[in-house]
Amino acid sequence: MGNRTGTSNPQLRRLIAELRKKAQVDSTPLWKRIAVDLEKPTRGRRVVNLSRLNRFTCDNEVVVVPGKVLGSGLIDHKITIAAFDFSGGAVEKLRKQNCDVLSIEELLVKNPKASGIRIIG
């Protein structure tokens, strides 16, 4: 077996490095955990449908998906969600429900101590 080379996506590499640095500086293990999850191969990354988010989240909760959010299903309450990638249908349905849709970088700036954040997936 060959050596793992990591992702070739420069945006993802930059995000992983930033998450690791923030985890080290602020002693927040959640950011390190998200960085480890994002380092996995694409087929091993998390994919979450809106129906799962609806089932396992509460109103006004902050969640992170270290992968992609897909638009299958409906969401009937307001959440703040950050993910590496969103499908077009997912963003549309989330915005109709007045949910806050963020990238992981935006959430890192908005909540550097990672307080009150859950990982879903």
CATH code of the domain in which 102 resides: 3.100.10.10
Number of domains the chain contains: 1
Whole-structure pTM over 0.75, yes or no? yes
* Residue 93 covered by a domain: yes
The answer to whether residue 112 is domain-embedded is yes
Residue ranges, the chain, pLDDT below 50:
none
In a domain, residue 103? The reply is yes
- What is the extent of the structural domain holding 98? 10-119
What is residue 1's predicted lDDT score, i.e. its pLDDT? 57
Contact yes or no for 73/52 (Cβ under 8 A) = yes
Task: Report DSSP letters for the chain, one per residue.
Answer: -PPP-----HHHHHHHHHHHHHHHHHT-HHHHHHHHHHTS-GGGSEEEEHHHHHHH--TTEEEEEEEEEE--S---S-EEEEEEEE-HHHHHHHHHTT-EEEEHHHHHHH-TT-TTEEE--
Q: Is residue 2 part of a domain?
A: no
Question: Residue 71 falls within a domain, yes or no?
Answer: yes
pLDDT tens string 23-56? 999 999 999 999 999 999 888 899 999 999 999 9
Query: What pLDDT does residue 76 have?
Result: 94
Residue 4 lies in a domain: no
Q: What is the pLDDT of residue 4?
A: 65
Answer whether residue 86 is part of any domain.
yes
Residue 19 belongs to some domain of the structure: yes
